[in-house]
Chain A
Amino acid sequence: MSAEPARADSGTADATPTGQLTPAERRLAADPRITADWTRRQTAETNLRALAGRAYPRVRGMFREPSWVIFEILLPFLGTSAYVLVYRALKAPEEYVGFVVLGGALSAFWLNVVWSMAGQLYWEKSQGNLELYFAAPMSLMAVLLGMAAGGLAMSSTRAAAVLVISASVFGVQFDVQQWWLVCVVFVLTLTALYGLGMMMASLFLLWGREAWHLTNVMVEPVYFVSGLNFPVGRLGAIGVAAIAFIPFAVGLDAMRQLAFPHSDLLVGTPPPEIEALILVAMTVVFTGAARWCMTTIERMARSRGSLSIRWQ
């Protein structure tokens, strides 16, 4: 093994305030208490690096196993097409086709949250990665964000593909007046969605393998109450509740209102500006709850000893 550079001995460390030590110097300091004492900047940098590090396998995986092109783009496009044809068979107004296309595109993110975020920590525990994450000095929130960022790469590709292809094939005409608001709403939808995903990831970790079943309750039921293929306002009180609690419902409705501002079919829901504020609140609440959950769950898992027990 190659010789390590000379360690910063205690004399040098005393002469230089520890806040000015480089990470390498801190790592090789003569006193573990120096090594353990990180600055805020080092902590923040580590968490950012951890985020990038955790996103890395997901992004790499996209290119190393291309089956997702069929199952994440082609088949979802066909599924969206089926709903479009239902409306065409019913001779529904053309706006409904646009609603379906937007719903199909945005559902990519919801599915990513449900399938690749919610149960992910449980999978990590199952593989033995979770205890390594807990034993490392980064924040687990950084790991969750990294998972989200990595998954976002594939979801964005799917969403864009479904949107562009479906809109082209079915001749959907979007009439966006406020592009800046569309972008803001879109970003807020993602932050709220992935904030919810992080919260669910920590809750699933607590509930163990039974929580995997909850993933199944979050697809079709959420599609229904969120108005995947129809304006959620048509569901009355159920739609209102969905707007209040499900970021997918809020984001989708806001995007529809902005894409079809002159449609009189989008009734019964707040205007997009209000829905943007709802998304902000959701982001804050879900992200805060995720952070609280992770801390609590780590404490509970350490107390119960379930961090490394696969079957719990």
Chain B
Amino acid sequence: MTGQTGEARRLPPAIDAVGLRRVYDVKPKAVTALDGVDLQVPPGEFFGLLGPNGAGKTTLIKILTTLLLPSSGSARIFGFDVATETRRIRRIMNMVAGGEQSGYGILTVREQLWMFSQFYGLGTREGWRRVDELIEAVGLGEQRLQRVSTLSTGQRQKMNMARGLLNDPWILFLDEPTLGLDVSAARGIREQVLAWKAAIPGRTVLLTTHYMAEADELCERIAIVDRGRILAIGTPAELKHRVQRDSIFRLQVDRLDGGPASLARLPGVVSAALASDTAPDAQHVTVNLVLHEDAALGGVVTALAGMRSQIRSLGKSEPTLEDVFVALVGRGLADEADDTEPMPPSSADEDVAAAHAQAHDPETGG
């Protein structure tokens, strides 16, 4: 799952950050964007930084891409120091940011990319060949001779992605690459990145995003960042497992004699409660079940059969990365970093949280 080859294991870490701090000296009060970040990413990994706006993701990427110096601490890219070995790092990395408006409107897509290919030392002919190849790969074949100033947002981002892949970087930094794109364009970007990574084993990708689904889909490991600190690191499954010890099911039956209490008494059932979003005149009963483990579900089904209740639907509630974030930080991913007011949960979420709270006190630490 980590994508490491035997060769990759002999290489130094793609990213090795120790105690990274970055303070911006702004008025009226200095801002600490990064507050002691330790991070190690092995070669070949698709690593994600997930956090709200203002968490420090972009600051971290700018340090790692040699655009910004840390206030203290150190960071290395494949063993090269970001502060002192910038030239070497720039030869093996590239970056693509979301919402980029860079480039020269007067040039065509093909010319724009060729210009950048020259910046990375590709030969003239090699540059054109590589540009034409990437234009087809990202799906801009029809726009290749179109001026950059006439591209749509999605097309421009595809062009930016092609630019990011020109030099086959050993490490590709993606700073919210799908920002502002529609579903189809965003999916296209993600597919391009995955395809490129699959085509050249050993390449590392660092992705920052505040879209949970994107991080969940793409990343092998994720670090959750907030207020300049990494709160947790792990695979998506590991992170979700942190906040969910019990199995939570949403069960809909045609009738339930004795109400949820009849299920709560069963072995392995932590709690059973009526879902608050059930309409009073509904022809069914919806129950939120919290079980110690999935295996206890069998007993519930047997009991329901004994009660002559017919199961209409049964679904398992998985925590999302946002649940992970809320559990770690106490507010939603969409909230600003300095906004302490939490997002109001949905009624369904309230039920789940209430059922969970009946059996356990939620863990709020990192």
**Interface residues, chain A, CB within 8 Å of chain B?**
1-4, 7, 9-10, 23-24, 27-28, 30-33, 35-38, 42, 45-46, 49-50, 52-54, 56-57, 60-61, 64-65, 127-129, 131-138, 299, 302-305, 307-308
For the complex, what is the distance from the CA of A238 to the CA of B202, rounded to whole Å? 64
- Interface contact A37-B88, CB-CB below 8 Å: yes
Q: Mark B242-265, 1 if CB is under 8 A from A, else 0.
A: 000000000000000000000000
Other-chain contact of A305, B62, B170, B195, B200 (Cβ < 8 Å) = B62
Find out whether the CB atom of A35 lies under 8 angstroms from the CB atom of B91: yes
Q: Are A308 and B62 in contact (CB under 8 A)?
A: yes
CB <8 Å contact, A46 and B121: yes
Does the CB pair A36–B111 fall under 8 Å? no
Interface residues of B in 42-87 (CB under 8 A from A): 43, 59, 62, 65-69, 78-80, 87
Given contacts A3-B199, A33-B78, A60-B106, 6 further A-B contacts (CB under 8 A): A1-B199, A32-B92, A42-B121, A46-B119, A60-B111, A135-B95
Stretch from B97-105, B178-186, B291-299 contacting the other chain: B97-105
Residues of A within 8 A of B117 (CB): 53
Give the CA-CA distance A71 to B206 in the complex, in Å: 48
Name A303's contact: one of B11, B69, B163 (CB within 8 Å). B69
Q: Are A135 and B66 in contact (CB under 8 A)?
A: yes
Q: Are A23 and B121 in contact (CB under 8 A)?
A: yes
**B118-A52 in contact (CB<8A):** yes
- A304 cross-chain contacts in B, Cβ below 8 A: 25
Binary contact readout B1-29 vs A (1 if CB under 8 angstroms, 0 otherwise)? 00000010001000000000010110000
Q: Which of A3, A27, A305 contacts B168 (CB 8 A)?
A: A27
Total interface residues on B, CB under 8 Å, equals 58
Would you give 13 A-B contacts (Cβ < 8 Å), ordered by A? A1-B195, A1-B196, A28-B168, A31-B11, A32-B92, A49-B122, A61-B104, A131-B67, A132-B95, A135-B95, A136-B119, A305-B68, A307-B68
- In the complex the two chains form, is A132's CB within 8 Å of B102's CB? yes
B137 within 8 A of A: yes
Q: Do B111 and A302 have beta carbons less than 8 Å apart?
A: no
Closest residue to A307 on the B side, CB-wise? B67
- Chain B contact residues, CB within 8 Å of chain A: 7, 11, 22, 24-25, 43, 59, 62, 65-69, 78-80, 87-95, 100-104, 106-107, 111, 114-124, 126, 133, 137, 163, 167-168, 170-171, 192, 195-196, 199-200, 202
Q: Provide the bound-state CA to CA distance between A299 and B111, in Å.
A: 31
A31 to B7, CA, bound (A): 8
Closest to A300 in B: B69
Bound Cα distance from A150 to B170, whole angstroms: 32
> A176–B114 Cα gap in the complex (Å)?
44
- Give the chain B neighbours of A56 by CB distance below 8 A: 107, 111, 114-115
The chain A residue sitting closest to B43, CB to CB, is A32
- A137→B120 contact, CB < 8 A: yes
Is B88's CB under 8 angstroms from A36's CB?
Answer: yes
The distance in angstroms between the C-alpha atoms of A50 and B119, with both chains bound, is: 5
Known A4-B168, A53-B114, A127-B101: A302·B119 in contact at CB below 8 Å: no
* Neighbour of A50 across the interface among B94, B102, B118, B196, CB < 8 A: B118
Task: Return chain A residues, CB-CB under 8 Å to B114.
Answer: 53, 56
Q: Contact between A57 and B170 (Cβ–Cβ < 8 Å)? A: no
**Cβ contacts under 8 Å, A45 to chain B:** 121
What are the 10 tightest A-B residue pairs by CB atom distance, in nearest-first order? A53-B118, A46-B121, A128-B102, A36-B88, A49-B118, A32-B170, A137-B90, A136-B119, A53-B115, A57-B104
